Chain A
């Protein structure tokens, strides 16, 4: 029988499924047991079926101007309870620290006075909006939703790659991935204890309602979208539908006397919370880009007057600037008096005296990122770049040190991914989503695992042709509940030889439960 894992050669990175060739990690045993006996043609068939279902349901994304089905790989990415506990605490901690930073930066500026962060970081930031200064958001929440990008390094440790606290997107794909996987591999879910992800919309709605201006009994929440032509429109519509709130475009809203109304068939209705899914720049042509036709004129003034809450708040961009990123561990210590739970990727600031030279000297060994880039744009991977690119980057960094950071390259962990008719290791990352209701930062169990579909590629964004995986967080306990193997229970992380006998035993176990 053909085995789809036959040619699986581990790359020079942490592999999520295999500890060593042939030695599967405990959490992945049932998945491997279920996948291994499947014929390649059958896997292809299931993958095609899934793509077809995504196309029919409109779960698509724009790639090179074309509507393509959302690329979900068949092999899930699994996090055990311990790993998840760490991630969840680390992400929540990070969000709390960034909240504190935003409150500080748009308020007393203590961190700058105390020299934790240099003033120029704030004053030079293109995302620092005077309009946001002095606006005291209800409950003190500016980051209602955050997406924190994590990678796992060669040693298996999770590190933060970047923070997204402006308009983080992708959560709809977490929900859709789960929905698709439960249909393609129903039996797998029956035997594993995967924590569900369907609580997101309720949490989000509760947080948005909690963010309404004071004194409003039954606040009206809307989702503001740039419209059907936006790449993330599917997500906007899904969230609005799951929350049962209106999905509005800019021209559905009208502002009068610093209040926001929406135009309905029964006249104008007041709006109290706008979960906006467009950037600051396009939000309000009176305050920001005057040529924006997708925004709502006057909405910023209404927010400043305290009559409407914008989620996320305007001006959050100063907190997910890639240069500020390098200061977040210090901010955690400064504001929270805690040690960072999740470390950063080792980074350099060309902006700081002495570091520019160090960066320029070893530019061919570093990853160079524009502080303002989104979607993997403008990133130069030193060890893989040609001379000309390196030279150009060197000049660009020297000319504008504030515009760049440099990082030690991390070989992102790999996960088995269907490539053609075989499994092959592909690099992955993870974006957990956090919702902050003012009293608690809740992290959706799992998050979006993105996978670079090209061999060796380290950039996993879907706008760069990446795929995704369903992310499973295993509930605590199932390991002990599993029937004991002859000879006593296996230790949690015991290596396990997958010989012909072992394989058969596992397959039978899986088959029995189908």
Chain B
């Protein structure tokens, strides 16, 4: 009976995966930025905050920006799915509407996280440090996906969760790099980029040192083994779509498959030269794929047929 999954549930699962990944990535980015601001004696808080807004696609306010505003907007704003709390709230609602499809443990993880956030938010405001808050988010996101891996059958339900996570992961990695590439003046330095992706240690192991060059972009985009690299996430998304079993000319799979192949054979020089265009292509491919997935798998708001059928 578990071979089938309701379209509505598939959609909810995809978005659950997306939102948890978004909360996780946003938390990592905020954490890396805060850390850098504190350690940097020549910090320019306003510029750093503006670049944060730019990464996450949020319009910056006209007045002077400080870290507290950023946290209010990107961490604590429950009304916006662009903030951690909004994303986790949306993930919880999606998981709730798919409660017989996600495992109890996954649901409890999201639900208890949601309830625990309030306490940590209060603590963050009182002590002026959101580290415990951000750490909670990171740990719970890891717990959630760990539970998905260990309590869900490798069926379509699981694939939709992973698909959502992978698409969001590509998107967040690309956003992070875009700021560096497009607006270098206010952009985070390379080490910050690495730690915002949770990649500093993995990078150090591969290249033996701290990130100080465009090699970071190469790592975050092309590394085959690092799970947050664009190539790795694209490969995972493509595997999911392929297993969801669709014809060759799959409009959901085609855009990311094409880019994945492109990335596989890209050399460092070409990467550096064509970086801005590549980042744009990546973002567009993810969007096109997500739209095609929605069109194909979630067509539940079908035409109203009963009006003619009568009693």
Q: Name A's B-contacting residues (CB within 8 A).
A: 55-58, 220, 223, 227-228, 233, 237, 240-241, 244-249, 251-252, 254-256, 262-266, 269, 286-287, 297-298, 300-301
Contact = CB atoms under 8 A, between A and B. Distances in A.
Which one of B2, B5, B9, B311 has the greatest number of beta carbons of chain A within 10 Å? B311
- Name which of A58, A247, A256, A265 has the most chain B CB atoms within 10 A of its CB: A265
A256 B307 CA distance: 11
A245 B111 contact: no
Contacts of A266: 3-5
A468 B302 CA distance: 43
Interface string B269-302: 0000000000000000000000000000111111
Contact of B100 (A227, A246, A298, A301): A246
A58 B7 contact: no
B300 A263 contact: yes
A301 B311 CA distance: 6
Given A252-B6, A263-B6, A245 B1 contact: yes
Interface in B1-25: 1-10
B33 interface: no
A265 B4 contact: yes
Given A252-B300, A265-B297, A265-B298, 12 more contacts: A56-B108, A58-B96, A58-B107, A244-B1, A246-B6, A249-B8, A263-B300, A265-B5, A265-B10, A265-B156, A266-B4, A286-B306
A255 B108 contact: no
Contacts of B156: 265
Contacts of B2: 244
7 contacts: A56-B111, A58-B108, A228-B93, A237-B100, A264-B7, A286-B306, A297-B309
Contact of A241 (B3, B104, B299, B305): B104
Q: Which 6 A-B pairs have the closest CB atoms?
A: A56-B112, A297-B306, A237-B99, A240-B100, A241-B100, A247-B100
B244 interface: yes
Contacts of A300: 311
A251 B299 CA distance: 11
Contacts of B9: 246
Contact of B305 (A57, A237, A240, A254): A254
Contact of A262 (B6, B160, B301): B6
B57 interface: no
A286 B111 CA distance: 38
Contacts of B310: 286
A237 B111 CA distance: 15
Nearest to B94: A228
Given A252-B8, A264-B4, A265-B244, A57 B108 contact: yes
Contact of A264 (B5, B99, B309): B5
B154 interface: no
Contacts of A241: 99-100, 104
Nearest to A297: B306
Most B CB atoms within 10 A — which of A55, A266, A269, A298? A266
For B3, B93, B111, which residue has the most chain A Cβ atoms within 10 angstroms? B111
Contacts of A58: 96, 99, 107-108, 111
Nearest to B3: A266
Contact of B7 (A223, A240, A252, A301): A252
Interface string B54-87: 0000000000000000000000000000000000
Interface string B126-165: 0000000000000000000000000000001000100000
Contact of A265 (B7, B305, B306): B7
A286 to B, nearest CB: 5
Contact of B111 (A57, A254, A269, A297): A57
B115 interface: yes
B6 to A, nearest CB: 5
Contacts of A256: 305, 309
Among B99, B104, B115, the most chain A Cβ lie within 10 Å of the Cβ of B99
Nearest to B93: A228
A228 B306 CA distance: 25
Given A269-B4, A301-B311, A56 B115 contact: yes
Contacts of B306: 255, 286, 297-298
B308 to A, nearest CB: 11
A234 to B, nearest CB: 8
B97 interface: yes
A432 to B, nearest CB: 26
B299 to A, nearest CB: 7
Nearest to B98: A247
A475 B305 CA distance: 54
Contacts of A247: 99-100
B49 to A, nearest CB: 34
A245 B1 CA distance: 7
Given A256-B305, A286-B306, A55 B115 contact: yes
Contacts of A228: 93, 96-97
Contacts of B96: 58, 228, 233
Contacts of B5: 264-266
A264 B111 contact: no
B1 A255 contact: no
A232 to B, nearest CB: 13
A254 B302 contact: yes
A55 B110 CA distance: 12
A272 to B, nearest CB: 12
Nearest to A57: B108
B47 to A, nearest CB: 41
Interface in B218-271: 244
Contacts of B160: 265
A82 to B, nearest CB: 37
Contact of B311 (A55, A57, A265, A286): A286
Contacts of A249: 8
A265 B302 CA distance: 13
B61 to A, nearest CB: 33
Given A56-B111, A237-B100, A241-B104, A255 B309 contact: yes
A57 B104 CA distance: 8
B276 to A, nearest CB: 36
B251 to A, nearest CB: 15
A265 B240 CA distance: 14
A365 to B, nearest CB: 48
A300 B299 CA distance: 24
A426 B82 CA distance: 49
Contacts of B305: 254, 256
